[in-house]
Amino acid sequence: MKALVISGGGSKGAFAGGIAEYLLQENNNDYDLYVGTSTGSLLIPFLALDDIERIKKIYTSIRQDDIFSVCPFIVKKKNGVIRTRINHFGIIKQFIKGEKTFGNSTNLKNLILTNFTKEDFGKIRLSGKEIIVTVANLTKQTVEYKSSNNYEYNDFCDWIWASANLVPLMSVLTKNNQQYADGGFGNLIPIQIAIEKGATTIDAVVLRLEKCDYNNPPLQNAMDVFVRTFDFMLNQIGVDDLLISNLQALDNNAIINFYHINKTLTTHSYVFDATEMKQWWEDGFEYARLKNSAVQKE
């Protein structure tokens, strides 16, 4: 069995999209299983459909308002440099309404329902392919993997949405008297579940540097501190995921082909800038092309 796994990474998912485009359309890879966390969960339904152009259009034209109904931070871009600060009014409005989080991502849910249709879901079922999204169950403090084989369309769209919701910046999904959020809190790079499902060859797109040589700019405000702390935590979860996955692959004679980002794309992975993301998609495609060309020459 062959699997494609895509990690979490917010707007850096555009780079993953470019890699996936190369693997599917230029390298003619055919996968039985697609597994994603967060932004990876948003990509994989369209990749399973082999509908690269549709998801590419979404990722390269998206705006902050397409994700957030209430954005907890204000974004300013000056001379190509992105700055963020706390959206005090938006957060206060959330508290007045009795919401559980600083921001609201209902717009993302609507984006999923509009672009990934019930007909699309049916096509995936008929194809025999399986897609799995990773969610964090905050009620039980566990990681759960939700398969397209086990749920109907509306429920599965809920799981895709939950998988991509980095709380408390985004919404919490309450379902069956339990609360769910971004799967990256427990499994940022969900290779293990692909191995457990029987995958013997795995292409894994990891939206972090292979060697963590980060040199972030100085923190400017409380929102920068908050987001940077989350990034640090998620990076450490990613390190653990990779270690566990490599050990599990050895035990199960599975081959993992890793595709890491090859440069620092952004320090604001929850800022969605269409111009930057269009370039990252192209960068991801070119990176995958060069990497595979190098492997073929060996």
Catalytic residue among 7, 11, 38, 148: 38
Residues in contact with 133: Cβ distance below 8 Å, sequence separation at least 6, in sequence order: 35, 36, 37, 41, 44, 145, 146, 156, 159, 160, 163, 183
**Residues 165, 136: Cα–Cα separation, whole Å:** 10
Catalytic residue among 182, 224, 273, 283: 182
- Alpha carbon 239 to chain centroid, angstroms: 16
Helix (H, G, I), strand (E, B) or coil at 260: strand
CA angle 76-77-78, nearest 5°?
120
Q: Are strands 81-86 and 130-137 parallel, antiparallel or unpaired?
A: unpaired
Comparing CA positions, the residue from 257, 163, 246 lying closest to residue 204 is: 257
- 182 catalytic? Reply is yes
**Residues 246, 167: Cα–Cα separation, whole Å:** 29
Q: Are strands 142-147 and 33-37 parallel, antiparallel or unpaired?
A: unpaired
The residues that bridge with 2 in the sheet, in sequence order, are: 201
**Residues 191, 256: Cα–Cα separation, whole Å:** 9
Residues in contact with 14: Cβ distance below 8 Å, sequence separation at least 6, in sequence order: 59, 60, 276, 277, 278, 280, 281, 284
Q: Are strands 173-175 and 142-147 parallel, antiparallel or unpaired?
A: unpaired
**Residues 241, 256: Cα–Cα separation, whole Å:** 13
Catalytically active residues are: 38, 182
